[in-house]
Amino acid sequence: MSEPGTVRDRTIAEGDNVIFRLLPRPADQGRPPNSYLLKVGEFMTFGDRGSFDTSKLIGMEYGAVIDHPFGRGQLLRPRPPHVLEVLQRGPQITLEKDQAPILYHAGISSGDLVVEGGTGSGFLTTALAWTVAPSGKVVTFERKERHQDIARRNVEKAGLADVVEFRSGDIADASGAITDADVLVVDIPEPWELVDVARSILARDGRFVALVPTYTQAERTMRTFEEAGYLVEAFEASLRHLELSKSDEGIRPAFRSLDHSEIIVMARKLDEE
């Protein structure tokens, strides 16, 4: 990160990952733009759409607009919202609207040790790794090899392989093997069963985060952790897009909206010793 008062180098160099984001056309109003990840210096083929020598990007600046086999678009420095658009989807993912409040309310920051149970496609893993980098670490557990393979490719594509440690198996396997973690995040069907696991993994001021789809699961998780002496809260995050009216008469809610996806349960560990 640049020091205050300095100018950050915005020049694209060989080996950089660059997001190419198609510029929206009038007919695309209300639709998210298509994004593609380019590895600068490689000759990339895009099926029947043609090929592209990405070495031509060397020396250009982030923000430049170019023509590409997919159309006209802008070169962007990879940032979480853009990187997530190009990752492979396997099992159900944690949406950006839920990732942001998780990172904020759990107080996750650079240098933290975060343990994750249920890697899935690695979308939340990527967001966690982006936040704790460069000095922190994410240790993520996944029982299904196919899911872990997808997540590993996604993390590598995001350029965060050095920040993430993949482990096969159940999150309960971390009990006794990992201690002093800042945050434990789980996306599993029965998170209330992890009270003892959380207590063994987390530091004295550690935070537990569970993602569940139903209110029944949320209630049971909250009651179980509260009875175990944790400070507990739960919430949902909604996202409604707005769009300009085609008749130039104001703004209105878009037809697509993201309301219920999952409930976020948070518990802060209390250690009176």
Query: What is the residue extent of each domain of the chain?
Result: 17-78, 86-268
Asked if 139 and 155 touch (Cβ cutoff 8 Å), the reply is no
Compute the C-alpha angle 112/117/121, nearest 5°. 100
Q: What is the pLDDT along the chain (273 residues), one digit of tens a residue?
A: 445 555 567 899 988 888 888 887 655 555 556 778 888 888 877 666 677 888 989 999 999 998 887 788 888 887 766 666 666 666 576 677 788 899 999 999 999 999 999 998 888 998 999 999 999 999 999 999 988 998 998 888 888 899 999 999 999 988 888 999 999 999 999 999 999 999 999 999 999 999 999 999 999 999 999 999 999 999 998 877 787 777 777 887 776 656 667 899 999 987 655
User: Cα–Cα distance between 266 and 273 in angstroms, integer?
Assistant: 22
User: Cα–Cα distance between 180 and 7 in angstroms, integer?
Assistant: 38
For 86-268, which CATH superfamily applies? Answer: Vaccinia Virus protein VP39 (3.40.50.150)
Q: Which CATH number fits domain 17-78: 3.10.330.20, 3.40.930.10, 1.10.1670.10, 3.40.50.2000?
A: 3.10.330.20
Alpha helices, DSSP H, located in 158-239: 195-201, 215-227
